Amino acid sequence: MQELAWLEQTAISIWLRESEWGFFFPLVLHSLAMGLVVGINLAVALRIVGVAPAVPLSFMCRFYPLMRGGAVVILISGLLLLLAYPAKALTNPVFYIKLICIVAALYIARRFRVRLMMNRLHDQEALPSHVRTIAVFALLLWIVSISAGRFLAYTNSILLASSFY
């Protein structure tokens, strides 16, 4: 807990919490990038499940560089948000649920790209049921991660560790 209190007292953490736009700007970037990354993943998973079967899976590969860029923005803005209130997130189990779901969903997205989307043979054929099941699981992971992210604002028991010292 002392490490979190120290982190809260760094110049960047104080600036993020107390400046007019220090917290707002990373929060907006985080939200927009999440919409991009989650939106692309939802479109791919829904296509694999069977929505819009006329859209070739290989065509959807074009969105992955955009998704990677969005993931970088999410990582950087997320770290800034974490720096603003480290104890709020790092002492909350919901934060870890969110991270686990995001990592698992991105892993599935990567596997879809490598195994399915880069092979034009999968563009028109019906995909095996286990692949569709994994796509449904990916959809659920994104729903849980977004919900957990929203619950972070309401489920913390500690806002600032420095208030204990």
Whether 47 and 55 have beta carbons less than 8 Å apart is answered as yes
Which pLDDT does position 110 carry in this prediction?
A: 93
pLDDT band at 119 (very low <50, low <70, confident <90, very high): confident
**Which amino acid, residue 44?**
V
Average the pLDDT over 123-149 and give the result: 91
Domain range annotation of the chain: 2-164
State the pLDDT confidence band at 42, using cuts at 50, 70 and 90: very high
Residue 126 DSSP one-character state:
P
10/2: higher pLDDT: 10
- The pLDDT, as a whole number, for residue 13 is 93
Q: Which residue is associated with the tokens 């997205």? A: 109
- Mean pLDDT value across residues 109-137: 84
In sequence order, the 6+-apart residues with CB closer than 8 A to the CB of 60 are 43, 44, 47, 117
Q: What is the pLDDT of residue 158?
A: 81
* pLDDT value, residue 7: 84
Check: CB of residue 70 under 8 Å from CB of residue 37. yes
Mean pLDDT, range 150-159, rounded to an integer: 86
